[in-house]
């Protein structure tokens, strides 16, 4: 008997005569890996189906009963006969954080093992808990020491996590003794998860044996049959297949098929060690072979790629990807991270770690100081129309403003094409960095991210500050335009660093911009918990009146035309700087 849900989800319910779909709350596309939360008679039930060989895990949290059943073809739910009605809801509706548990060895050099898994999951936006099987003393020269943890400790760690937290995917790395596989098996029976990713770590890249011959049989007989995917490299595939030599892609296909026959539902044989121009992996799901190619990155910094690949697959599965997409994303992630890490310099040995966060290199060229409110003193805001009018290139204009005394620069290029804007931003950033002056981008968060500018200035109708903060991270400078005390309080709550308030005086530079006057500026400054820079129609003749408002939060003036709608940007900036300095000295 077959029953079809309103959204077209098909149950082969020959074993489940009493189960009926009464409500499909949101459509859920089931491809080769499927998961959903079911509610049966008001009882929450997790169901996961994944792999080419359909596996259905039913877990009734209320009644504490669990069923796990393997079937070929179609989703077959074996459930408790008394269950009558079933409601299917999209997994994402229950708002759980995707969670990978890694069971692996610690690498003191932090390029591989537990440390690589934590960094990869963090980079993928997935929570990662850890069960440590061994502690290795390891660096870029190799492995100097291995301490294997006791079976009791490993069992206690696993139970501690699985009995408390909802884990989506378990990923294994270094399992140095057969008893650890048994502990894993027993725990997964008691606490079923959505998928098990097995990285059959046996030998370190430096040649150190991390799982001896005694465990080989356990891997083959007990671990592989439990796995939803196993991810050996050429050497590991060869060891698992009794020394089979793998030299070609056809050999890798054969190996993938033979490994699949040992029980894992999917196999990824990684060909990075083969001497081809591309790095080619073979993925086999029991039915089809896929050749996954990426460019070969020439780098010493490749330590930990295996752990990273497996953790990224686990993380993507935890987020809800199908197995094939998870593998493809993981391959692209490793390739990108290797490219970013080509030139990082950690350790003196032959094999270095790479950068999972893709940030270590860029960090070194970023400004190191945090935002200093006194940077708002003389804020130069560019205008492409004015530069064109006076025949100034943007780089010449920025250089001149800095040499005249500008303390911060904002690129406000309203008419620029994206590519042109980015090139200009990169060139101006070089100038600003060489003078240690922060460079902000007006409106365009994408440009700021692409050139690693020091921050962004947004208006009330641009991207909201909290979203900008989420994209740029805690270190970048975010300014926001505020005309009212309410705007000012929200800017602070949303995570801005400073406020631009105006237009203080009428201006031709920004069309349809309401003038708030000196009183409006003062009200914003008094209410604000953030430093304020005044903007709008400010020039040599009125800057003094702004600074003489005498409110503590007011740190300076932001100016467009009075600097850039001039023949000599440098001397105009110099004059304004002198005037501002005078007002500050005078008011002290
Ligand atoms: C320092 C500073 N303050 C205010 C503004 C105005 O920004 P916004 O309101 O987004 O208007 P546009 O500049 O985008 O037209 C600013 N740019 N800088
Ligand atoms: C961008 C902006 N935001 C409020 S007023 C203004 C224009 C400032 O330009 P100017 O200094 O030429 O008046
Ligand atoms: Mg704007």
Question: What's the 105 CA to ligand 3 centre distance in angstroms?
Answer: 50
Q: State if residue 444 touches ligand 1 by the CB under 6 angstroms criterion.
A: no
Q: State if residue 479 touches ligand 1 by the CB under 6 angstroms criterion.
A: yes
CA distance 119 to 311: 9
Q: What is the pLDDT of residue 214?
A: 79
As to burial, measured by CB atoms within 10 angstroms (0-12 exposed, 13-18 middle, 19+ buried), residue 20 is middle
**Rounded to an integer, what is the distance from CA 518 to the centroid of its chain?**
44
CA distance 201 to 118: 17
Torsion of CA 61, 66, 69, 75, to 10 degrees: -30
Q: State if residue 483 touches ligand 1 by the CB under 6 angstroms criterion.
A: no
Q: State if residue 495 touches ligand 1 by the CB under 6 angstroms criterion.
A: no
Atom 7 of ligand 1, residue of closest alpha carbon: 459
Q: State if residue 410 touches ligand 1 by the CB under 6 angstroms criterion.
A: yes
Is the bond into 503 cis (omega within 30 degrees of 0)? yes
270 is annotated as an active-site residue: yes
Is domain 99-358 classified as CATH 3.40.1190.20? yes
Q: What is the pLDDT of residue 275?
A: 83
Q: Are strands 33-40 and 43-50 parallel, antiparallel or unpaired?
A: antiparallel
Question: Residue 450 gets which letter from DSSP?
Answer: H
Does residue 77 come out as left (phi exceeding 0), alpha (psi in the -120 to 50 range) or beta? beta
Residue by residue, pLDDT tens for the chain (588 residues) are: 333 333 233 333 333 322 333 222 222 333 333 344 443 433 344 444 333 223 333 333 333 333 333 222 223 343 333 443 343 333 333 568 999 999 999 999 999 999 999 999 999 999 999 999 999 999 999 999 999 999 999 999 999 999 999 999 999 999 999 999 999 999 998 999 999 999 999 876 666 767 777 789 999 999 999 999 999 999 999 999 999 999 999 999 999 999 999 999 999 999 988 887 889 999 999 999 999 998 888 899 999 999 999 999 999 999 999 999 999 999 999 999 999 999 999 999 999 999 998 888 765 556 667 899 999 999 999 999 999 999 999 999 999 999 999 999 999 999 899 999 999 999 999 999 999 999 999 999 999 999 999 999 999 999 999 999 999 988 899 999 999 999 999 999 999 999 999 999 999 999 999 999 999 999 999 999 999 999 999 999 999 999 999 999 999 999 999 999 999 999 999 999 999 999 986 655
Atom 13 of ligand 2, residue of closest alpha carbon: 537
Atom 8 of ligand 2, residue of closest alpha carbon: 536
Atom 15 of ligand 1, residue of closest alpha carbon: 510
Q: What is the DSSP string of 12-50?
A: E-TT-TT-EEEEE-S----SSEEEEEEEETTEEEEEEEE
Tokens found for residue 353? 């770690």
Which of the listed residues 535, 539, 563, 566 should we mutate to test ligand 2's pocket, taking the one with most ligand atoms within 8 A of CB? 535
Catalytic residue among 111, 173, 306, 320: 306
CA distance 289 to 502: 62
Question: What's the 195 CA to ligand 2 centre distance in angstroms?
Answer: 56
Report which ligand 1 atom has the smallest distance to the Cα of 498.
1
Q: State if residue 452 touches ligand 1 by the CB under 6 angstroms criterion.
A: no
**Percent helix / strand / coil, the chain, rounded to 5:** 35, 25, 40
Q: State if residue 462 touches ligand 1 by the CB under 6 angstroms criterion.
A: yes
Tokens found for residue 40? 């049966």
What fold characterizes domain 366-587? TIM Barrel (3.20.20)
Question: What's the 538 CA to ligand 2 centre distance in angstroms?
Answer: 8
Q: State if residue 457 touches ligand 1 by the CB under 6 angstroms criterion.
A: yes
Size (the chain), residues = 588
Burial code of 254-281, b = ≥16 C-beta within 10 A, e = fewer? bbbeebbebbbbbbbbbbbebeeeebbb
> Which three-class secondary structure state does DSSP give residue 89?
strand
Catalytic residue among 270, 328, 399, 555: 270
Any idea which ligand is nearest the CA of 499? 1
Whole-angstrom distance between the N-terminal and C-terminal Cα of the chain? 88
Q: State if residue 438 touches ligand 1 by the CB under 6 angstroms criterion.
A: no
Three-point CA angle 336, 32, 227, nearest 5°? 75
- Residue range(s) in the chain whose domain bears CATH number 3.40.1190.20: 99-358
Q: State if residue 510 touches ligand 1 by the CB under 6 angstroms criterion.
A: yes
Atom 2 of ligand 1, residue of closest alpha carbon: 500
> Which three-class secondary structure state does DSSP give residue 271?
coil
Give the distance between the most distant pair of CA atoms in the chain.
Answer: 91
Any residues with Cβ below 6 Å from ligand 2, and which?
Answer: 502-503, 507, 509-510, 513, 535-538, 559-562
307 is annotated as an active-site residue: yes
Report which ligand 2 atom has the smallest distance to the Cα of 564.
12
432 is annotated as an active-site residue: no
Any idea which ligand is nearest the CA of 504? 2
Tokens found for residue 129? 């808990």
Q: Do 576 and 559 touch, CB atoms closer than 8 A?
A: yes
Q: Do 303 and 138 touch, CB atoms closer than 8 A?
A: no
> Which three-class secondary structure state does DSSP give residue 363?
helix
Which of the listed residues 382, 383, 438, 457 should we mutate to test ligand 1's pocket, taking the one with most ligand atoms within 8 A of CB? 457
Q: State if residue 379 touches ligand 1 by the CB under 6 angstroms criterion.
A: yes
Any idea which ligand is nearest the CA of 408? 1
Report which ligand 1 atom has the smallest distance to the Cα of 458.
10
Report which ligand 1 atom has the smallest distance to the Cα of 379.
1
Q: State if residue 497 touches ligand 1 by the CB under 6 angstroms criterion.
A: no
Burial code of 489-504, b = ≥16 C-beta within 10 A, e = fewer? ebbbeebbbbbbbbbb
Question: Residue 103 gets which letter from DSSP?
Answer: E
Catalytic residue among 87, 130, 205, 302: 302
Tokens found for residue 494? 């949303």
- Residue range(s) in the chain whose domain bears CATH number 3.20.20.70: 366-587
> Which three-class secondary structure state does DSSP give residue 269?
strand
Strand order in the sheet with 43-50: 20-24, 85-89, 33-40, 43-50, 53-60, 65-72
CA distance 469 to 494: 8
The pTM of the full predicted model, rounded to 2 decimals, is 0.73
CA distances from 99 to 96, 115, 131, 169, 317 (A): 9, 16, 13, 7, 10
Q: What is the pLDDT of residue 74?
A: 28
DSSP β-bridge partners for residue 294? 279
Q: Strands, E, within 438-553: which ranges? A: 439-442, 455-458, 477-481, 498-502, 532-535
CA distance 47 to 33: 11
As to burial, measured by CB atoms within 10 angstroms (0-12 exposed, 13-18 middle, 19+ buried), residue 250 is exposed
CA distance 516 to 484: 9
As to burial, measured by CB atoms within 10 angstroms (0-12 exposed, 13-18 middle, 19+ buried), residue 97 is exposed
51 is annotated as an active-site residue: no
Question: What's the 565 CA to ligand 3 centre distance in angstroms?
Answer: 20
Q: Rg of the Cα trace of the chain?
A: 30
Catalytic residue among 121, 307, 428, 482: 307
């Amino acid at each position: 008997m077959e029953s079809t849900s309103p959204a077209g989800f098909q149950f082969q319910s020959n074993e489940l005569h009493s189960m009926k779909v009464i409500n499909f709350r949101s459509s859920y596309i089931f491809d080769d890996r499927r998961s959903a939360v079911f509610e049966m008679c008001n009882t929450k039930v997790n169901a996961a189906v994944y792999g080419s060989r359909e596996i259905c895990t039913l877990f009734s949290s209320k009644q504490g009963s669990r069923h796990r059943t393997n079937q070929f073809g179609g989703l077959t739910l074996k459930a408790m006969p008394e269950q009558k009605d079933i409601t299917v809801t999209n997994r994402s509706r229950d708002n759980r954080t995707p969670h990978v548990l890694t069971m692996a060895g610690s690498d003191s050099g932090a390029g591989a093992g537990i440390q690589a898994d934590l960094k990869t999951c963090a980079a993928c936006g997935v929570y990662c808990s850890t069960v440590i099987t061994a502690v290795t003393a390891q660096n870029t020269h190799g492995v100097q020491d291995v301490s294997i943890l006791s079976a009791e400790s490993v069992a206690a760690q696993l139970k501690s996590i699985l009995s408390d937290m909802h884990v989506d995917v378990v990923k294994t790395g270094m399992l140095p003794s057969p008893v650890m596989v048994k502990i894993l098996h027993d725990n997964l029976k008691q606490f079923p998860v959505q998928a098990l990713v097995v990285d059959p770590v046996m030998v370190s890249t430096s040649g150190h044996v991390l799982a001896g011959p005694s465990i080989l049989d356990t891997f083959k007989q007990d671990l592989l049959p439990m796995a939803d995917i196993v991810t050996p490299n050429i050497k590991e595939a060869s060891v698992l297949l009794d020394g089979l030599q793998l030299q070609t892609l056809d050999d890798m296909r054969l190996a993938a098929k033979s490994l699949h026959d040992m029980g894992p539902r999917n196999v990824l044989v990684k060909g990075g060690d083969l001497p081809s121009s591309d790095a080619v992996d073979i993925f086999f799901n029991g039915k089809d072979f896929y050749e996954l190619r990426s460019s070969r990155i020439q780098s010493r910094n490749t330590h930990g790629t295996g752990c990273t690949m497996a953790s990224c697959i686990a993380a993507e599965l935890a987020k809800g990807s199908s197995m094939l997409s998870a593998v493809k994303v993981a391959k692209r992630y490793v390739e990108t991270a290797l490219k970013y890490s080509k030139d990082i310099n950690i350790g003196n040995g032959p094999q270095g770690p790479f950068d999972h966060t893709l940030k270590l290199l860029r960090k070194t060229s970023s400004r190191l100081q945090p935002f200093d409110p006194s940077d708002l003193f003389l804020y130069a805001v560019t205008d492409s129309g004015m530069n064109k009018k006076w025949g100034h290139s943007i780089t010449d204009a920025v250089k001149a403003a800095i040499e005249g005394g500008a303390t911060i620069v904002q690129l406000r290029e309203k008419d620029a094409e994206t590519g042109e804007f980015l090139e200009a931003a990169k060139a101006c950033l070089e100038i600003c960095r060489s003078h240690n002056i922060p460079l902000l981008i007006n409106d365009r968060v994408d440009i700021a991210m692409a050139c690693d500018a020091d921050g962004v200035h947004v208006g009330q109708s641009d991207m909201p500050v909290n979203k900008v903060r989420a994209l740029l991270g805690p270190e970048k400078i975010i300014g926001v335009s505020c005309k009212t005390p309410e705007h000012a309080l929200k800017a602070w709550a949303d995570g801005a660093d400073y406020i631009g308030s105006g237009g203080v005086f009428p201006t031709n530079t920004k069309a349809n911009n309401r003038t708030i006057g000196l009183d409006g500026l003062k009200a914003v400054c008094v209410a604000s918990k953030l430093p304020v820079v005044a903007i709008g129609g400010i020039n040599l003749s009125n800057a003094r009146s702004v600074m003489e408002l005498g409110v503590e939060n007011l740190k300076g003036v932001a100016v467009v035309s009075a600097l850039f709608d001039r023949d000599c940007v440098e001397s105009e900036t110099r004059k304004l700087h002198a005037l501002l300095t005078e007002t500050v000295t005078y008011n002290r």
